[in-house]
Structure 1
Amino acid sequence: MMIDRQCAELLENAQGILMGILASESDPVAIGRKYTAALMETFLGERANDVETRDFRIPTGDREIPARFYRGSRAPADSKTKLVLFFHGGGWSVGDMDSYDGFVQRLSAETGAHYLSVDFRRAPEHKFPAAHEDCYEAALWAFENSDALGIDPERIGAMGDSAGAALATAVSWQIARQTDYRVNALYLLYPFLDLRDDHEAYASRISFGDGNYLVGRAGLTAAKQWYLDEDTLTEDPLVSPMFIPDLESLPPTTIITSGHDPNLDEGRLFAEKLRESGVRVSATHFASAFHGFMPFGVLDVAGESVKTLAKAIAEQ
């Protein structure tokens, strides 16, 4: 299917934003961060202003992890409700809690769940496993403080988009292996799950990896180089959840994929592997969209995808 008109117009306008940033910035990481922030602000659409938020600094042994709690506007005040741990995308190096704030507000308003958005340490300043450790520690904190947060510890899910989907999956797997807690559902939005440079392993990386759809093969390679030390194994399941050996330990999973996306085939393959392992999977494909489309509320297809997500969350 062809990319839809709204998506094509957004991508054209995004290119103009990028050109403006390139005129005054040369550092690749700074360019990526400014570009991501500008896209999220420009194309967010209407904010959901009826969501109550509260910032935390989650204590760990040697540091504090910034996080933001979103109270679902439809959540009953006198009972515990579902919490979704949210790990943002951006190749482990761009995007942050603030740039994703409007999107998570919309998710909370539409789904009725509480959210905890984690502002994990980013590459290249902080290599693997820093981001993973922050997300894992934040998840444990949520389980341990469920009463204070007013959430049901049996209904804590994990969500991430792109690289954030890898973090959500790896954290859920590690929790199942190393603790008595269990993440009850996974929500993976156009997931980036394989950090190998073997682009030919996925036809979608060839078909849609030229960089015309916000992210391309060059961006995937840069994300890996910024995130990993040279001696880090790309097939470590905490790095590339595609290689988790015991997928049956993962919870029911919702996967959203987009048609014009170099990571499309990763989402499809992971869904297939989960089903083969006996995990319940709900997969929805938005053929006319591109990688990273869901936060852009100006797109009709973004609204459709959030409604799909809300239905999945309500059922879990």
Structure 2
Amino acid sequence: MAVNKALRAALSALSYPDIDVKKTYPLERELKRIASWRIKKPHLYHIWEHEVPCGDHKVPVRIFTPSEDTRHLVLLFFHGGGWATGDIDSYDGVCADMAALTGRMVISVDYQLAPEHPFPAGLEDCYAVAREIFLHDSLLGTRPEEIVLIGDSAGGNLAAAVSLMARDRGEFLPARQILLYPAVGNDYSDGSPFPSMRENGSGYLLTAKRIRDYMELYRSSEADLENPYFAPLTVRDFSRQPDTLIITAEYCPLRDEAEFYGELLRAAGNRAEIVRMPDALHGYFSLPASFKLVKQTYEIINRFLKD
């Protein structure tokens, strides 16, 4: 079912084609913080805080533990927000639902944000947390094969990059990753090779211009655009990557590049499942768990985790 005319008009009005994210990102951060105050802390699971050393600072993480004893099953979550907005507070509700609906411990990473901390600062934070969990099983009593990387949008980019970095550095290797409408490319211009960038790049909340602005905030230099840890789609070697579940949204500009990333993983001999959610917009996974699309997504995730 296509987006109806009334909804299409509303989405177009909300997409603000002339907004300059490079100027408005502080306001977006603040609005997300204010919105997070209205999210009630879950009462069916335990939450505790932890910090992971990374260079000259410590990375805060928030751990959501389901009421059932499943501590050894872990989802390591990297939040979205264009690498410049969002934090563990604004994703409390998402992570609480994730713990409840998967029965797994969820570890949410509060990585440093751009532009104050451009690439690769946030990625190194995510890698440091993953490294501690994979290599120090005494922390949570986990085995490496029981840890799954998961991220949405910019967080999906970070999950994919952590997997590539782990393979290249040789310290650990994730067995599975879940990428929700991830940003994996580097071209969001009118000349993009992906039809979804032209079809969905305006009028559907996340616009091509907003993606370009976020990436400009995130990158340290023009050279980052060809760095596979910045844009995983540019990597030359797709081998030895985790079993991957990629979930895309029909009306998301990132849809086609994410699905192509999955196809390249398959071509390199990896297992990759690609699912496109019909009638979905970018960011839909942050909606309440009662929404039909979110319920369906958790059904897909749980099948992947149990396979």
Residue identity (%): 29
Q: Secondary structure at the match of 1:233?
A: helix
Does 2:258 correspond to 1:267?
yes
**Partner residue, 1:3:** 3
How far apart, CA to CA, are the structure 1 residues paired with 2:34 and 2:305? 29
Is the Cα contact below 8 Å between 1:47 and 1:106 reproduced in 2? Answer: no
Which consecutive residues of structure 2, in runs of 5 or more, have no partner in the other structure? none
Does 2:50 correspond to 1:59?
no
Q: Secondary structure at the match of 2:298?
A: helix
Does 2:65 correspond to 1:74?
no
Q: Which moved more, 1:264-273 or 1:230-239?
A: 230-239
**Partner residue, 2:25:** 29
Deviation per residue, 1:244-281 (Å, 9 max, x gap) = 22212111000111100000101111111111111111
> Structure 1 121/217 Cα, relative in aligned 2: closer, same or farther at 3 Å?
same
Does 2:185 correspond to 1:178?
no
Q: TM-score if structure 2 supplies the norm length? A: 0.89
Q: Secondary structure at the match of 2:245?
A: strand
Deviation per residue, 1:160-183 (Å, 9 max, x gap) = 101111110111111122134211
Q: After the TM superposition, which residues 165-244 of structure 1 pair with which residues of structure 2 at under 5 Å, given as runs?
A: 165-199=156-190, 200-210=192-202, 212-244=203-235
Q: Which moved more, 1:185-194 or 1:281-290?
A: 281-290
Is the Cα contact below 8 Å between 2:188 and 2:197 reproduced in 1? Answer: no
Is the Cα contact below 8 Å between 1:196 and 1:235 reproduced in 2? Answer: no
How far apart, CA to CA, are the structure 2 residues paired with 1:90 and 1:183? 24
Does 2:132 correspond to 1:141?
yes
In the TM superposition, what is the alpha-carbon distance from 1:35 to its structure 2 partner? 4.5
In the TM superposition, what is the alpha-carbon distance from 1:233 to its structure 2 partner? 2.8
In the TM superposition, what is the alpha-carbon distance from 1:61 to its structure 2 partner? 3.1
Q: Secondary structure at the match of 1:96?
A: coil
How far apart, CA to CA, are the structure 2 residues paired with 1:187 and 1:55? 24
In the TM superposition, what is the alpha-carbon distance from 1:313 to its structure 2 partner? 1.8
How far apart, CA to CA, are the structure 2 residues paired with 1:83 and 1:173? 20
Q: TM-score if structure 1 supplies the norm length? A: 0.86
> Structure 1 35/306 Cα, relative in aligned 2: closer, same or farther at 3 Å?
farther
Q: Secondary structure at the match of 2:250?
A: strand
* Aligned partner (choices 69, 81, 85) of residue 90 of structure 1: 81
Deviation per residue, 1:146-197 (Å, 9 max, x gap) = 2221222222111110111111011111112213421110100011101234
**Partner residue, 2:294:** 302
How far apart, CA to CA, are the structure 2 residues paired with 1:142 and 1:254? 21
Q: Which moved more, 1:281-290 or 1:145-154?
A: 145-154
> Structure 1 168/35 Cα, relative in aligned 2: closer, same or farther at 3 Å?
same
In the TM superposition, what is the alpha-carbon distance from 1:37 to its structure 2 partner? 4.7
How far apart, CA to CA, are the structure 1 residues paired with 2:52 and 2:242? 25
How far apart, CA to CA, are the structure 2 residues paired with 1:295 and 1:180? 32
How far apart, CA to CA, are the structure 1 residues paired with 2:294 and 2:226? 32
In the TM superposition, what is the alpha-carbon distance from 1:144 to its structure 2 partner? 2.7
How far apart, CA to CA, are the structure 2 residues paired with 1:232 and 1:106? 38
Is the Cα contact below 8 Å between 1:91 and 1:220 reproduced in 2? Answer: yes
In the TM superposition, what is the alpha-carbon distance from 1:8 to its structure 2 partner? 4.2
How many pairs does the alignment contain? 301
In the TM superposition, what is the alpha-carbon distance from 1:304 to its structure 2 partner? 1.5
How far apart, CA to CA, are the structure 2 residues paired with 1:274 and 1:97? 30
Q: Secondary structure at the match of 2:47?
A: strand
RMSD: 2.8
Which consecutive residues of structure 1, in runs of 5 or more, have no partner in the other structure? none
**Partner residue, 2:243:** 252
In the TM superposition, what is the alpha-carbon distance from 1:92 to its structure 2 partner? 0.3
